[in-house]
């Protein structure tokens, strides 16, 4: 399996691009913050994208490119198998963060280092643009959090309230660059 990585242009981001992308994730256990402590709880569900979710994602990714952010993708042949996006605007009390808004690897290729390569490119890109830290509002699934911890992420010193309100069960993380 040969994987090629490259930035996506706005005009390439369309529904057809996701034709061989498997979003499905069967979640069993999730991290939850209870009384100030992080605990693992049973929270079984299947995470997948509806057609409406795909359209929202496509609109968001196009906007990221249009506003100077990064959309970096992994391909096997012509098939999109992973992508990461980082917004271009610094935020936080000291303008220390850039926002990693998405990181997904197709279900058929998870566990093969694609997510790691996408994450590392996001870190390189953010550092080149003056960020001290990458901010991640990460899915609370145990497997997702294990990935981010393995990449050196820790709980964010400052929470982005917009992310907390949009996804109250996400874990708010940061990665020092």
Domains detected in the chain: 4-176 (3.40.630.30)
- Cα separation, 64 vs 88, in Å, equals 8
Prediction pTM value: 0.95
What confidence score (pLDDT) does residue 88 get? 98
pLDDT in tens, 143-164: 999 999 999 999 999 999 999 9
What confidence score (pLDDT) does residue 1 get? 75
Interstrand relation of 70-76 and 97-105 (parallel, antiparallel or unpaired) = unpaired
- Cα separation, 132 vs 126, in Å, equals 8
Q: Given pLDDT bands bounded at 50, 70 and 90, which one contains residue 74?
A: very high
Residue 153's alpha-carbon distances to 11, 30, 47, in angstroms, are 32, 17, 23
Q: Given pLDDT bands bounded at 50, 70 and 90, which one contains residue 167?
A: very high
The mean pLDDT of 3-12, rounded to a whole number, is 97
pLDDT over 80 at 35, yes or no: yes
pLDDT in tens, 103-146: 999 999 999 999 999 999 999 999 999 999 999 999 999 999 99
pLDDT over 80 at 75, yes or no: yes
Per-residue burial over 130-144, b = 16 or more CB atoms within 10 Å of its CB, e = otherwise:
ebbbbbbbbbbbbeb
pLDDT in tens, 76-96: 999 999 999 999 999 999 999
The mean pLDDT of 66-84, rounded to a whole number, is 97
% the chain with pLDDT above 90:
98
């Amino acid at each position: 399996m040969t994987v090629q990585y490259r930035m996506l242009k706005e005009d390439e981001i369309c529904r057809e691009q996701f034709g061989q992308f498997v979003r499905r994730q069967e979640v069993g256990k999730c991290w939850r913050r209870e009384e100030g402590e992080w605990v693992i709880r049973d929270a079984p569900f299947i995470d997948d994208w509806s057609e409406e979710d795909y359209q929202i994602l496509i609109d968001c990714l196009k906007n990221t490119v249009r506003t100077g952010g990064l959309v970096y993708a992994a391909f096997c042949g012509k098939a999109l198998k992973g992508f990461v996006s980082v917004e271009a605007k610094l935020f936080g009390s000291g303008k220390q963060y850039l926002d990693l808004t998405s990181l997904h690897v197709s279900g058929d290729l998870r566990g093969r280092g694609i997510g790691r390569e996408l994450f590392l490119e996001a870190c390189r890109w953010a550092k080149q643009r003056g960020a001290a830290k990458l901010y991640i509002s990460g899915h609370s699934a145990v497997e997702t959090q294990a990935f981010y911890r393995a990449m050196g992420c820790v709980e964010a010193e400052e929470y982005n309230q917009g992310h907390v309100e949009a996804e109250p069960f996400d874990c708010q993380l940061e990665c020092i660059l």
